[in-house]
Structure 1
């Protein structure tokens, strides 16, 4: 397959010079990696390294995806042309070009297309789809991935990323030709409408409604914020300044930059991403650090503790937000008895235990915020449970369903308010977390990602997943496995009894342990990685950490022998 498609691309008359030169200089290994498959729609759309080939993100792959999306929308909506599609883009290389390419392809099919006048955060795209009553949306982004990556995320009419059943329909419109046959566009189609800041202001006003308290002393909270060269700058700066917080921005990382020149990593899950922010925080004696990823759907939190800054993980921030949301709603007598909180099957149990304190139910879904968005919409249509909060362990949170994707801007507003609330009680956010753990147990979480590059790496990753799907393990790290959840087979095995799982099939295995801890294993939907989630609880941090170390060693030994 690889060489045949490589030659086909070389012979393509409209191929631009940059990609043609790249093809000419490819080694055999590079040809194989660039053409061994068509880039896939994963948990967050298409995402990959930019370059020439079917397994890369480039304008031909993007144009083809847009052609396919146009045909899908025209088949699904009789009024698709009138309602149109909204497109947003981030700070990455070629993001604006890919946006204009997508807009022109969609417009050539008669679809009205809205694009923003500049880069915008992902949650604003979700909001805009709903506000404009569009039938779909697209974001050109690779979220928190390194600078070499870009991507193409697709959204439905509710502002939610397409779930697999819809993706399957979309993929049926792909033909045999992986290259879109086009002549270069020299200008935007007349069906393309440029959006100004009016919709931004509507969004800001709606985000402000999530506040639970209106503190008079907001100036007492000192915040350091870094947008990591991405799209979060304007929204978070605007809203936090309106509230009157003492806000300090990492100016070296404020300007959009496709190369992420002034940061060690644009990923708020990595501690090195906070280096410049911590330096500034030490200078201004900040209470908290806020760090958004390039498309501003994820947010990380740093907390001052003693003379250092501790970076909270997504499970910890989620548990704190749940406790704050529910406690304040209860205090204000506004806590809905039919409220529900959504998380995922790899999210720690800490948030569930916090919700249980307030008699609020939780529901775990498959990994990918689209499943949370889907549940919100379904519940509204059926007049079911009232959405209170949705979150993932990977630093994604949603407070208000004004959009249907994780929203770092909403989260920044509520995290800041929560931090001031606890400061007024004489506690840092970290001290508030310890107080919470005194009630529910001490949780320690660790995610280990094994990288598998190229076709051989993909095959090895499949071997690892097959092993854990097929082997019947009884214990890990001296802890008994009380149940195994195999989401690929859609079964749960507990005490030798097999029952059905109700969630859709997905390549995930989860081992629930006798002390309330769990280990989950899944391949990444956006990167060539196999992810191992270790979520442990103990009587202290030391107790939980010791359990994790032993279990990681056992799992590593198994993987190294596969």
Structure 2
């Protein structure tokens, strides 16, 4: 006879307790059924992995596989995490009730739903939420925190992880990811707020709430206006003969890179068509991390070779990582390391500043 959500005994009292909590708290029928199936199969080891440990909340927030259980990313754990974060902010940063939080999401499976559940918790606590109406890059969340003078930002993304994963990045009022000991205090608050409020499950409150604002148009405009202030040589850019190839690695970056190209006066890059649109299945790459090297950039290299392009630019799915490759005279491609890219950007920033500010003490 198959077991029901109330008729089980695994022989492990702690596991029985966690099971009772799961079936009492989780309102998502799919994840409830997944746990129930493991109970019926008497898969005790898997149940222990799913229920006896929680995801660890750290300076990078959360990131792990999407599945049922307290150790996985799912509706219940998103609600629990957000309830804890919300209570931490209300206690330590009461201005959040006027300043609000920013919530964005990428194109992964469940990202939009997790973002709406996050917004639901905050709105029910009477905290304003700047919730993006469409997928956006992670830098747009960090920027929006500062532009909107919000007290916190949350980006739902697993960055460059495999398709099975998702994540929850948290940013402070300075637009940077939180650091220790804030992460420890938030983790403690999550543990103290595990019981989901009934209202936390009703995401419909977000759509009709006056506390919800869509920052998309304002941030698109002002982000690129501020980006323009970093462009010292737009006229020279417009005369450049360099052809760029760009891949979004099945992520959200392409339309935002196009806007940036307009700002800097460079011609639009040649897109890697197979990877240009958000696709949570990541069909052409197992690990959508452009920094992994030639294997991850193989389609970009093919596209660049076919279009006489000498430079490749690549973002990860939430567009906060950058990879660069350059075609050498030998025909081979040099993929720059992170240190090389950092050195180039640092050198160019200093050179540009000195050329525009020759009277400032220092040497070029």
Quick check: which one's strand share is greater? 1
Query: Do residues 187 (structure 1) and 204 (structure 2) align?
Result: yes
How far the C-alpha of 1:175 sits from its partner, in A, is 4.0
Aligned length: 340
1:159 aligns to what? 175
Question: Per the alignment, do residues 176 and 210 of structure 1 end up closer, same or farther by CA in structure 2, a change over 3 Å counting?
Answer: closer
Question: Per the alignment, do residues 283 and 165 of structure 1 end up closer, same or farther by CA in structure 2, a change over 3 Å counting?
Answer: same
Asked whether the 8 Å contact 2:84–2:192 carries over to 1, the reply is no
1: CA distance, partners of 2:305 / 2:327 = 9
3-state secondary structure, aligned to 1:174: helix
How far the C-alpha of 1:168 sits from its partner, in A, is 2.5
1:203 aligns to what? 223
Higher alpha-carbon deviation: 1-10 or 276-285: 1-10
Structure 1 residues 362-402: Cα deviation after superposition (integer angstroms, max 9, x where no partner) = xxxxxxxxxxxxxxxxxxxxxxxxxxxxxxxxxxxxxxxxx
How far the C-alpha of 1:265 sits from its partner, in A, is 3.0
For structure 2, the residue ranges without an aligned partner over 5 or more in a row are 1-12
1:479 aligns to what? none
Asked whether the 8 Å contact 1:127–1:203 carries over to 2, the reply is yes
Query: Do residues 279 (structure 1) and 302 (structure 2) align?
Result: yes
How far the C-alpha of 1:254 sits from its partner, in A, is 1.3
Query: Do residues 168 (structure 1) and 184 (structure 2) align?
Result: yes
TM-score normalized with structure 2 length? 0.86
Return the match for 1:248 from 270, 277, 292.
Answer: 270
Question: Per the alignment, do residues 336 and 118 of structure 1 end up closer, same or farther by CA in structure 2, a change over 3 Å counting?
Answer: farther
Return the match for 2:46 from 12, 30, 41.
Answer: 30
Query: Do residues 71 (structure 1) and 87 (structure 2) align?
Result: yes
1:12 aligns to what? 24
1:324 aligns to what? 348
How far the C-alpha of 1:141 sits from its partner, in A, is 0.8
2: CA distance, partners of 1:48 / 1:82 = 32
Query: Do residues 266 (structure 1) and 288 (structure 2) align?
Result: yes
2: CA distance, partners of 1:107 / 1:246 = 40
Question: Per the alignment, do residues 175 and 277 of structure 1 end up closer, same or farther by CA in structure 2, a change over 3 Å counting?
Answer: closer
2:153 aligns to what? 137
Query: What pairs with 1:98-113 in structure 2 (closer than 5 Å)?
Result: 98-113=114-129
Structure 1 residues 295-339: Cα deviation after superposition (integer angstroms, max 9, x where no partner) = 11110011101212221110111122222222333344459669x
3-state secondary structure, aligned to 2:318: coil
How far the C-alpha of 1:24 sits from its partner, in A, is 2.6
Structure 1 residues 331-371: Cα deviation after superposition (integer angstroms, max 9, x where no partner) = 44459669xxxxxxxxxxxxxxxxxxx69xxxxxxxxxxxx
How far the C-alpha of 1:219 sits from its partner, in A, is 4.4
Question: Per the alignment, do residues 30 and 116 of structure 1 end up closer, same or farther by CA in structure 2, a change over 3 Å counting?
Answer: same
How far the C-alpha of 1:29 sits from its partner, in A, is 3.0
Question: Per the alignment, do residues 315 and 2 of structure 1 end up closer, same or farther by CA in structure 2, a change over 3 Å counting?
Answer: farther
